[in-house]
Structure 1
Amino acid sequence: MKSITILGAGVAGLATARALALEGWRVTVFEQAEALTDVGAGVQIGPNGARVLRALDLDADAASMRGKAVELRDRHGAQVLRMDLQGRDWHLFHRADLINLLARGALEAGVTLRLGEVGVPDGLTIGADGLHSRSRVALNGEVPATFTGHVAWRAVIPDEAGEPVSEVHMGPGRHLVSYPLRGGAFRNIVAVEERRDWVEESWTARDDSDALQRAFAGFGPRVRGWLEKVERPWLWGLFLHPVARRWHGDGLILAGDAAHPTLPFMAQGANMALEDAWILSRCLIAGDRGEQYQALRQERCRRIVQTAAGNAQIYHLGGAAAILAHAAMRVGGRLAPAAPMRRFDWIYGYDAVQASRSIQTGT
């Protein structure tokens, strides 16, 4: 029986663990947190990520809401563009529910999960240890991140059941993304504002609700009503990290955010992690120790990271530029309603299961 150690019980680590355990591997996952909890955030799993969940025989529908549409709105709440998701395998998860789905799947497949332990590379090891990955540093050295000029508030608020639509409310220098969670009992909020300076890259800093409400005081009543329910939002600075140059070496292989941290503006972080998990598991089963895996994943991930980095500019237009851009989107949406989503078919149409069939054995 082949054995492997995985550092990190996030999306990439747990999905890879189940994929390998289902093939008879002995898998041990180390997670430094004492419990698999989450501070509270939503995550969107698009068709590319959902294909991996299906391949892992995990029931996404049991733990999420099916997304119906993505709507872009101006700061007053008027609809600019609606992109229909009907027929697409699109899921709105509370992140904790996605982690629980993957963790249960891993344990049922025979994975050993060791909480409250950092773990160290031992034999063949997968470094799925997240944004501040020690594994990435071990392979690539310290590579400084660049502050993007954006900060983001996160919150989950109680809500009444509503349409499962992801809304993007756009305004000068800021935007807000929101969608329902857990059958509509809660609502996820991510609010982004441009700033000149920021010091800490942290997921655990808090801020006053008043600061968030002031930042979006010029938005419509729907947004202001949501923000009035926020008590103490999480606040973090958004930093751009280069995709890792080296993904493997000396028995260590990177996966998920450890290899390719991304900004949240394409909602692809968890989806890329799921893609990694499937491709990496198939490569390992075929005898690859990282070369094919990096070749199959690196350029795609780099392109997604670059696309996400550019999206905020579209959301943050003001004045005449916003008027012209929004008018063009409205006209385009009426004339060719399917075209906006087709622009990203290269993302959502990707099938990791199909791509894995090109992996050569015995490398």
Structure 2
Amino acid sequence: MSPSPLRVAIVGSGIGGLTTAIALQQKGFQVDVYDQASELSEIGAAVSIGGNGMRVLDAIGIGQAIRDASSNLQRIEFHHWQTGEIFYEHPMGDWYDEHFGGPFLGIHRADFHRVLLEGYAGQPKLGRRAVAVNESPDGVEVEFADGSKVEADLLIGADGLRSAVRQHVTGPDEAVFSGMTCFRGVVPVDKVPGGDKFGLTFFLGPNRHLVCYPVRGGEGINFVAYVPDPDWTLESWSAKAEPAEAVAAFEGWTDTVTTMLGNVEETGRWALYDREPLRKWSTDRVTLLGDAAHPMLPHAGQGSNQALEDVGALATYLTADGLGVAEALQRYEQVRKARTRQIQLGSRGNATCFQLPDGPATEERNARLLSLPDNVAWIHGYDVFTAVQETL
């Protein structure tokens, strides 16, 4: 008689949680996904996926569906905040694919989520807010706020920055406020001056910066506009702001920026937090993934990509010959921890680099941009499957 499939409970139905569910279902695991949300609603924001993340999506068979729902970003450009002039650019598109083993895509979160839901054989169980985890040598039990409980052989916390599962693994800790807030939105491309020519586009200036790129086949331009604001501490996907607030925050900037900010129908706004790198991710039956394990500021564009790398590593170890669950989780943590720590801390430093005043420091930064492709190759060209195989 063959052994029963491993029962896996995943808390969190975001990019990391659902991708993990797909990967483990394909390997024969029994997987259930739980989320505290009462409904799966569209969030007006996008993410970028690089070659390192696409490698995992391709491996689980949904890479083409993601490509079809995305915009392939053909260039990277850095613009002066006031004049709008380009001071550095580099091709992406085919060049990026050839160098880093996959495309660089911009995709709306709602489109990404739709592809993942189609790939997951089941439906996330909603309205389940995890409040306690009880672990034994034989399994793990999750308690939810509605009084229900579920048992599993393995629990994966993919429940974000304020993870309830992390409390069980590491004990209480505090999120670190960056002192920065961001405005986010998607604007129709015909309402953005020059938007039809945008790739991955940066506008850098004193104490502020803005990143934008096309989504949905170029129909819309996704923007994230970062400003220091120590008083705005609300970290919420649903928080809103008036477009006029964003326009006022970028007064004096190039018309491209202010017109884009003023033409959005709905602006999201939230404070940016991360956490200090964790020393421990796992117990014998419980582990963390994505933002629950290594929440990072968005200034390296790697939050979703690092969650995808986590999926590739965890799924490979859990099906490796001769590894029990506890050892698989320890191997997973060991191969991921140093890399995600380095990217976490680097993301903090990038914010300062992007928000320099005009002058010598800006000139030095712009000169360093000439080496940008080489400087980011260790991130974008990384193959998580090779890294894991080297440890087996």
Q: Does the alignment reach a TM-score above 0.5?
A: yes
Q: C-alpha separation between the residues in 2 aligned to 1:45 and 1:323?
A: 28
1:100 aligned to which of 103, 114, 120: 114
The residue type paired with residue 306 of structure 2 is M
Matched, 1:85 2:117: no
Equivalences for residues 230-309 of structure 1 within 5 A: 230-286=264-320, 287-289=324-326, 290-309=329-348
Conserved in 2, the CA contact under 8 Å of 1:68 and 1:163?
no
Report how far residue 352 of structure 1 moved: 1.4
Aligned to 1:328: 367
Conserved in 2, the CA contact under 8 Å of 1:36 and 1:99?
no
Q: C-alpha separation between the residues in 2 aligned to 1:328 and 1:41?
A: 31
Aligned to 1:336: none
Report how far residue 57 of structure 1 moved: 0.8
User: Which residues of structure 1 form unaligned runs of 5+?
Assistant: 334-338
Conserved in 2, the CA contact under 8 Å of 1:71 and 1:81?
yes
Aligned to 2:158: 128
Matched, 1:197 2:211: no
Conserved in 2, the CA contact under 8 Å of 1:167 and 1:179?
yes
Aligned residue for 1:193, secondary structure, equals strand
With structure 1 as the length reference, what TM-score do the two structures score?
A: 0.91
Aligned residue for 2:78, secondary structure, equals strand
Q: C-alpha separation between the residues in 2 aligned to 1:117 and 1:347?
A: 35
Query: C-alpha deviations, 1:56-88, integer Å up to 9, x for none?
Result: 111121111111111111102110111221332
Q: C-alpha separation between the residues in 1 aligned to 2:282 and 2:157?
A: 9
Task: Find runs of 4+ consecutive structure 1 residues off by over 6 angstroms.
Answer: none
Q: C-alpha separation between the residues in 2 aligned to 1:41 and 1:318?
A: 28
Residue correspondences, number: 350
The verdict on how the C-alpha distance between 1:345 and 1:288 changes in structure 2, with shifts beyond 3 A counting, is farther
1:37 aligned to which of 27, 41, 47: 41
Query: C-alpha deviations, 1:205-252, integer Å up to 9, x for none?
Result: 222222210111111111111012024411111123112222111511
Aligned residue for 1:132, secondary structure, equals coil
Equivalences for residues 20-31 of structure 1 within 5 A: 20-31=24-35
Aligned residue for 1:247, secondary structure, equals coil
The residue type paired with residue 84 of structure 1 is P
Query: C-alpha deviations, 1:292-350, integer Å up to 9, x for none?
Result: 00000011000011111111111111132355236525xx64xxxxx311111110011
Q: C-alpha separation between the residues in 2 aligned to 1:214 and 1:9?
A: 35
Aligned residue for 2:197, secondary structure, equals coil
Aligned to 2:173: 143
Query: C-alpha deviations, 1:80-122, integer Å up to 9, x for none?
Result: 1112213321111001111111221122xxx453233335263
Aligned residue for 2:359, secondary structure, equals helix
Conserved in 2, the CA contact under 8 Å of 1:136 and 1:244?
no
Q: C-alpha separation between the residues in 2 aligned to 1:241 and 1:68?
A: 33
Conserved in 1, the CA contact under 8 Å of 2:285 and 2:325?
no
Conserved in 1, the CA contact under 8 Å of 2:19 and 2:311?
yes
Percent of aligned pairs with the same residue? 35
The verdict on how the C-alpha distance between 1:323 and 1:16 changes in structure 2, with shifts beyond 3 A counting, is closer
Aligned residue for 1:242, secondary structure, equals coil
Query: C-alpha deviations, 1:130-150, integer Å up to 9, x for none?
Result: 111001122112211222121
Conserved in 1, the CA contact under 8 Å of 2:297 and 2:348?
yes
Conserved in 2, the CA contact under 8 Å of 1:65 and 1:91?
yes
The residue type paired with residue 182 of structure 2 is A
Matched, 1:63 2:69: yes
Aligned to 1:154: 184
Report how far residue 196 of structure 1 moved: 3.4
2:372 aligned to which of 326, 331, 340: 340
User: Which residues of structure 2 form unaligned runs of 5+?
Assistant: 98-102, 131-141, 143-149
Q: C-alpha separation between the residues in 2 aligned to 1:258 and 1:151?
A: 20
The verdict on how the C-alpha distance between 1:117 and 1:177 changes in structure 2, with shifts beyond 3 A counting, is same
* Aligned CA-pair RMSD: 1.8
Conserved in 1, the CA contact under 8 Å of 2:210 and 2:226?
yes
Conserved in 1, the CA contact under 8 Å of 2:284 and 2:325?
no
The residue type paired with residue 67 of structure 1 is L
Aligned to 2:257: 223
The residue type paired with residue 74 of structure 2 is K
The residue type paired with residue 127 of structure 1 is G
Conserved in 2, the CA contact under 8 Å of 1:42 and 1:95?
yes
Conserved in 2, the CA contact under 8 Å of 1:27 and 1:112?
no
The 10-residue stretch of structure 1 (113-122 or 232-241) with the greater mean CA deviation from structure 2: 113-122
Q: C-alpha separation between the residues in 2 aligned to 1:166 and 1:327?
A: 17
Q: C-alpha separation between the residues in 2 aligned to 1:227 and 1:320?
A: 26
